[in-house]
Amino acid sequence: SATVRAAADGNETTPRLAAQLRAYQGLEHATLEESLGAEARLADQVYRLSARLCVDGCQGCLHSGSDLMADTLAESAVSRRLLGRFVRSIA
């Protein structure tokens, strides 16, 4: 990804990502066959923290399993669009 390339090049706009990449590069056993490489670890973290994971655009994944409700209900129960319509309907 462009973010990983910028961190690897020491781009001044990504000093924290460059530091995180160096930290991943310093991990023992990080180059073992079953382990992710430093660049892959950084790309995974960037994706997890910045990607839109839910269908209606929330930044965190609210669609994970829970003992509060069945998985089939979770998507509609945590949808921002649905919750927004509900709030407008009761206001």
Q: Tens of pLDDT along the chain (91 residues)?
A: 788 999 999 888 889 999 999 998 888 766 666 668 889 889 888 887 776 655 555 545 554 556 666 766 666 666 767 777 877 888 6
The overall pTM is greater than 0.85: no
Locate tokens 């001044």: which residue?
12
Dist CA 39 CA 45 (whole Å): 10
In one letter, which amino acid is 61? Answer: C
| CB distance 65 to 71 below 8 Å | yes
Write down the pLDDT at residue 69: 65
Token readout for 87 is: 């709030």
Closest to 78 measured CA to CA, from 48, 47, 55: 55
